[in-house]
Structure formats: C-alpha cells, structure tokens
Chain A
Amino acid sequence: MSQDISEIPDRKMAIIAESLYLLNLLILPGIAFLVLVWLFIKYDNISIGISGCHLRQTFSASIWVGLLLVLVTWVMLSTMNHDSPYTWMIIIPYFVICHSALVLLGIMGLAKALAGKKFHYPIIGPSS
C-alpha cells in the first residue's frame, strides 16, 4: 500500500490526521478521535513517510488528551469537595492550561503537516 501513496496524498493524510487531532480537542470531542483511530488502523502507520509519522503522533497524542483532560479532570472532580473554592482554583486552571498547551501542539503539528514535514509531539508523541 505504501507504494501506491504518491507524494500528495501522503501530505494530505498528514493534514487530515492533525486536523482530526485538533477537531477532537476543539469541536467534536470523541467523534473526531474515533475517525482518527479508524484511519490509524486502516492506513499504513509504520511507513517512514510523513503520513505515517503524523498518524502515529496524533494517535498517541490523542490518547494522552483523553488521559489528561478527561480522566484526570474526572478523577479530580469526583474526589474533591465541590463546595470549596480551592477545588475550582485548581481544576479550572489545570484544565485550561492543559487544553491550550495541547491545542498549541496540534497547531504546530498542523503547520508542519501543511509544510510537508514531520513533527514530533514532545513527551506525548512516540519518539519515532
């Protein structure tokens, strides 16, 4: 399959992967992630081309998104006392900072995909 993919679809796939990552964060949480998972399984994600790179990166980063934004926030919400201002003084800034850092990484990933280059999500992306 990797031989069939010409230069342009390769870049296109990279752009789609990054866009799905951002959509998952911004407008379609969950749905965009499922599409990304589907693409990740369906398409070649081990190739050295940029589509493989961006698919692997966004797939891994999206899982981190789920952990950091959904799981951690849910744990905090369910264990902390809702009647204390300190709870909200922690949860809101935590969520906002995490969320905007992840969005910024996604924008950089998309910028690189548009330029036809690889991108490595620091810490939350696989190293290759």
Chain B
Amino acid sequence: MLYSSQAVAKPYFIAAIALFAVQVLFGLLLGMQYIPVNLPFISFITFDAARLIHTNLLIMWLLFGFMGSIYYIIPEESEQELYNPKLAIQLFWVFLSLTIITFLGYLLLSYATFAKITGNQFFPTMGREYLEQPTIIKLGLFIVLCGFSYNIAMTVLHGRKGMINLLLLAGIVGTTIIFLMAFYNPSNLVVAKYYRWWLIHFWIEGTWELIMEAILAYVIYKITGDRKIVEKWLYIIVAVTLTTTILGIGHHYYWIGVSEYWQWVGTVFSIFEILPFFFMVLFVFNVVNCTKCQYSNKAVKLWALSTPIMAFLGAGVLGFLHTLAPVNYYSHGTQITSAHSHLAFYSTYVMIVLTMISYAMPILRNRKIVNGGLSQRFEILAFWLMTVSMFFMALFIAIAGIMQVYIQRATDLALPFIEIQNSLMILYWLRSIGGVVFLIGVIIYITKFLIAKSNNL
C-alpha cells in the first residue's frame, strides 16, 4: 500500500463479499422454488420477496465493490492521499445500514406493508424492476453516491490526472446523476418504462461498463507495468463503448409501446455493443505476456484474463443473440433474458470486483502472496467452481428459454405459460444443481480469507 488512505477500501470489500454470499443464497432459494420443492425452509419466503433480495443485494454489493475498488485505485493513480478518508468510512456505515434495512424489510415485511410504512403513496417510486427500494432508501443511496463522488472528485482534481482515474471519476459522477431517474415514475406506464431504462441501461451498459474497463486497465497495468500501452487500449475500448451504448438503449424499446423506429435504432447500434468486449479480450491477451512480467500472483492473472473472455460470452454473445428486433420479438421476457442477465452480470461486474479484491486484499491485509499456497489454491478452486457453474446455469436456462419460446410463441401449439413449465423441469433441476456448485464456490472463496488469517499461507 502506497497511501495509508487506501485502507478505507477494506470494509467495502468485506461488505461486498458478505452480501454476495447472501445474494447467492437467495438465488438458490429462487432456483428451488422453480422446481418446486415444498420444503419449509424454502417456502418460508415468497418468490417475489426472495427475488427482491437477490437482485437488489446484487446491485448494492456491486456498488460496494466498485466503491472499494475506486477508493483503492484513486490515491495511487492521483499520487496523493484520499481527500477525506473519514467521510469514506462514515458513508460506508450509512450505505451498509441502508442495505441492511432494505434487506430486512424485504425479508420480514410483506412488500405492501413495506411500501405503506415508508410512505410510498406520497411519492411512488417502488415496484419497478431493480428499483424496488423504498423512496427514502433511494434518497439515502443518492446521498451516499453524492458524497462518494465528491470525495473522489476532490482527490482526482487535486492530484495527477491520468486516463484511469479520470475515467473512474466520469463513471461514478455519471452513475450518480443517472440515478436521479429513479425518482421519476410518471403515471403513464409507457413513459415510466421508457425512462426507467435510462437508469438501468445507462448504468449496466454505460457508466458501470466504463468503471469496469478502468478497473481492468488498472489491474492489467499492475501486472505488466506498462502504462502507455494499457492507456492506448483503454482509449479505444472507451471510445467504442461511448459510441455504441447510447443509442443501443433502443434494444429495450421494441415492445413497450413507443415508436417502431426504435427497432432499427436498437438493432443497428446494439450489434456493435459487442465491440468493447471484443477489444477487451484483444487487449488483455495482447498486453499480458506471462513469460516476461514481474508480477507473480497467479490468481489475479487468472481473474484478470478470464473476465474479458467471460464478458465477451455473457454480455457480448448472449446479448447479441437476442438484441436483433426480430429475434427479440420471440425471446423478450423469457428464460433467455434470464440466461443473459446471469452470465452478463457475473462475467462483467462480479468478476471485475473479485479481480480487484484478489489484487488489493492481500496488500490491504499485509499478506505475502505465495503462489501455490493453500489460500491461493482455494481462491483458484473457487474461481473455477463459480465460473464453470455459472456458465452451465446460463446454458441450461438458455436452453429452457429456447424450448419455452418454441412451445409458447413460435408455433401453433401456443400452450399456456404454466403448462409449459413442467416440460422444462429437468432444466430447472440442472440449474439448481449448478446453483449449489456456485454456492460451494462462494463458500470456498470466503474460506480463503479465513485461512490467510490463521496462518500466512
């Protein structure tokens, strides 16, 4: 650690990992309800409540992960201490409390009750996918994002300005401003849907993608030690992202009741949304020359090289597959979407946060990295378990989606939704088995940190 204020990243990483485990646990519960196994410990919670926890904790912990990564990177890249480390810690506790309140609200109250006691009727923003948090929680989250952006902006503006830290700054300021859309929920459903995507799409395929690219560039720079070539690639990748993603939003506008030309706009631009991922793979394999580089943590290299590959598959290929309007006509809102969501979120955001944790945590905890040591072996095992099982979960669900589309939409059979689900049962079973393997991966991943604590392996 070059700057002592980088240490504020540590609680953020710990919270991220803990929430990750809870998120996956509830994912597994969802998978079980799909089968459905009527065991008391599974059906104690309704599907929608478990899903609320699963998706909202995902967003929250990824934000924790981004914040930790950015707090770690910024002082080093700006060559000075963080502007206000105390604020960073205070915001951590505020954010954690908001997350836990939200989690407990979903877990213990019925959603309608939660909406009532948080006064949703006075300013309705709840009940829209990914934006289900009560309005006051959203307000709190907005304040946390503002404080975070302020802290980073002051550090960056007073320090050395490089490509990586400017991009991170743009990413989080953008994330904060875009979040304002969460408070806009007009009573006309079509208008509400139209603007909701400004938040969701411009986060996950816009500002978050920029943050992800900057973190990846930073880690690759740390591995190779060659800043110039890393920045050159980053330049191309960001340019491609910016030019394709803005009108790529059209791929969410095909069937929600807005003008039909969005089918053309969305199709044409989002075909090219695959390019940033293409260039990311090209970048890492061009730059990382393992025979030459000094840096020796094998686990970090594994994470950093796999992230672009998996992102290319999950976001790029699976995204492309259903982004053409004529295909999306059949696949929209089926298990195919779910397959894409899972592999895309895992590969781009989960993996980049875990890459950064893999790099930064040993430094934050003053550990010596021993290649082949027990702790690292656990991490690599966890990597394979999670990545492979997520790949197969997405595959099974994609296959289920193809079958669903075929029976429900594409042919004359057109069976009702619920009746089709029984013929997909085997695939749902396989998905749940994948989920169990994934959870085992998460547990082994957490164990890695505990091992490193008890002895210095």
Contacts and interface: CB of A to CB of B under 8 A. Distances in A.
Contact of A96 (B286, B309, B321): B321
Contacts of B281: 104, 107-108, 111
B403 A89 contact: yes
Describe A's contact surface by its main secondary structure. Answer: helix
Nearest to A108: B285
Interface stretch (B24-32, B133-141, B394-402): B394-402
Given A85-B403, A107-B278, A107-B281, A93 B398 contact: yes
Interface in B377-413: 395, 398-399, 402-403, 406-407, 411
A89 B406 CA distance: 9
Contact of B286 (A83, A89, A92, A115): A115
A110 B282 contact: yes
A107 B285 contact: yes
B317 interface: yes
Contacts of B317: 96, 100
A93 B285 contact: no
A73 to B, nearest CB: 15
A125 to B, nearest CB: 16
Contacts of B278: 107
A114 B282 contact: yes
A112 interface: yes
B282 A89 contact: no
A115 B402 contact: no
Nearest to A87: B406
A128 B411 CA distance: 50
B312 interface: yes
A111 B395 contact: no
A88 to B, nearest CB: 6
B403 A104 contact: no
Contact of B402 (A92, A104, A108): A92
A96 B289 CA distance: 29
Given A96-B321, A100-B317, A104-B309, A85 B282 contact: no
Interface in A76-110: 83, 85, 88-89, 92-93, 96-97, 100, 104, 107-108, 110
User: Interface size class for chain B?
Assistant: 20 to 34
A23 B35 CA distance: 43
B313 interface: yes
Nearest to B291: A117
Contacts of B282: 107, 110-111, 114
Nearest to A101: B313
A93 B282 CA distance: 24
Nearest to A85: B406
Contacts of B285: 107-108, 111-112
A28 to B, nearest CB: 15
Interface in B236-288: 278, 281-287
Contacts of B411: 83
A93 B313 CA distance: 12
A38 B411 CA distance: 45
A89 B399 contact: yes
B286 A104 contact: no
A97 B283 CA distance: 22
Name which of A104, A107, A114, A117 has the most chain B CB atoms within 10 A of its CB: A107
B92 to A, nearest CB: 38
A85 B317 CA distance: 22
B57 to A, nearest CB: 30
B289 A100 contact: no
A100 B286 contact: no
Contacts of A96: 317, 321
Contacts of B402: 85, 88-89, 92-93
A22 to B, nearest CB: 9
Nearest to A88: B402
Contacts of A97: 395
A56 B42 CA distance: 56
Nearest to A115: B286
A65 B403 CA distance: 27
A92 B441 CA distance: 29
Contacts of A114: 282, 286
A117 B287 CA distance: 11
A87 B147 CA distance: 54
Contacts of B284: 111
Nearest to B286: A111
Interface in B287-303: 287, 289
A115 B289 contact: yes
Question: Which of B281, B284, B312 is most buried by chain A, counting CB atoms within 10 A of its CB?
Answer: B281
Nearest to A100: B317
B183 to A, nearest CB: 39
8 contacts: A85-B403, A93-B398, A100-B312, A104-B309, A107-B312, A108-B281, A110-B282, A115-B287
Interface of A: 83, 85, 88-89, 92-93, 96-97, 100, 104, 107-108, 110-112, 114-115, 117
Nearest first, the 4 closest Cβ-Cβ pairs linking A and B are A111-B285, A111-B286, A85-B406, A100-B317
Given A89-B399, A100-B312, A111-B285, 18 more contacts: A83-B411, A85-B403, A85-B406, A88-B403, A92-B402, A93-B395, A97-B395, A100-B317, A104-B309, A107-B278, A107-B281, A107-B285, A108-B285, A111-B286, A114-B282, A114-B286, A115-B287, A115-B289
